[in-house]
Structure 1
Amino acid sequence: MKKSQDDAKSLQERALRLLARREYSYAELMQRLSRFASKDVVEEVLDHLSEAGYQSDQRFAEVWIRNRLQQYQGEQRIRYELRQKGIARERVDQEILAANPNWPELAAALYRRKYGEMLAPSREEQAKRMRSLLNAGFSYDQVREALKHLDSEAEFD
């Protein structure tokens, strides 16, 4: 019994050192710590840390979304990354709704940052630019709305 308590204490210290540097999802910590102890011990430690407020998937998702929005990432990419990090779909939906970003405006900001204020001179170049926004995680409708907004701004300049 003493050995398992030592394992749990050591594992908890390791987890706290990780969490002191940045937020981690429960699933990420499970993956990182599972090589040091059995799954049952890791779950017990992580459950204790979650109950004590040291680890929170909600807080992790909030921080992740805020960071990705600052990097001009789109909704689809953010959703995908959070799901890959083990965050439940309902939690992802809830946190994105709470963040309430204006996706077309964010897509337009990314466009301006990458390409300046001018729309592409050719259809081929415009298609290439649209693909780059789609690859950043914006939906087709969000990209079209962003480009329409940029086009209307260009008319008034």
Structure 2
Amino acid sequence: MIAPLHARALRCLAQREHSRAELARKLDGLGSADEVEAELDRLADLGLLSDARFAEAYVRAKAARFGSSRLKAELARRGVAADLIGSALHDACGGSEPERARTVLRRKFDTPPADAREWARQARFLQGRGFSTEIIRSVLKESPGDEPA
């Protein structure tokens, strides 16, 4: 018979990739802290649990909708190490941040900003999606007459 801790871990990993910290939170309460850590180590040794693989999958799934800042923050919140975050972002996004910002903006707004109020609205939208100020300015300046007064 499979232990409840191991069974729960396998069920979670069968649904989607998890970071080590996420899976530890989900397994909390099914055993002692030492048992949970031992199970996580076992899963990592078997190649079933990998923060690097989780980060790559997360970035691949979300990169079309969010900027690098938001992706970094979400991965850090999920317990992924900074070096793994940087590697995943570099591999999946590369230098396409302005292109992604343009795509996200055009998907939400059909027309370029007509006045300062609309320019600010579109800029706030991109900022909420995690795009940097420089990229927001460059993307919104591409249309004539869209600079705020």
* Same fold, TM-score > 0.5, yes or no: yes
Equivalent position to 2:63, from 69, 76, 96: 69
Q: Confirm or deny that 1:39 pairs with 2:33.
A: yes
2:98 to 93, 97, 104: 104
Residue 122 (1) aligns with residue 119 (2): no
Count of paired positions: 143
Report the Cα offset of residue 9 of structure 1: 2.9
For the aligned residue pairs, the C-alpha RMSD in angstroms reads 1.5
Which of 1, 11, 22 is residue 17 of structure 1 equivalent to?
11
The share of aligned pairs that are identical, in percent, is: 36
The Cα of 1:10 is off from its aligned counterpart by: 2.3
* Residue 70 of structure 2 corresponds to residue 87 of structure 1: no
Query: For structure 2, which runs of at least 5 residues remain unmatched after alignment?
Result: 145-149
Contact 2:119 2:140 in 1 (8 A): no
Superposition deviation, residue 142 in structure 1: 1.1
1:110-157 residue CA offsets vs partner (Å, 9 max, x unmatched): 1111111x21111111111101101100000111122234x27xxxxx
Q: Secondary structure of 1:109's match? A: helix
1:98: how far off? 1.3
Q: Deviations over 1:20-77 (max 9, x none)?
A: 011111000101101111110000001010110111111110110011113x201111
More helix by share: 1
Given the two structures, how large is their TM-score scaled by the length of structure 2?
A: 0.90
Q: Which runs of 4+ in 1 moved over 2 A?
A: none
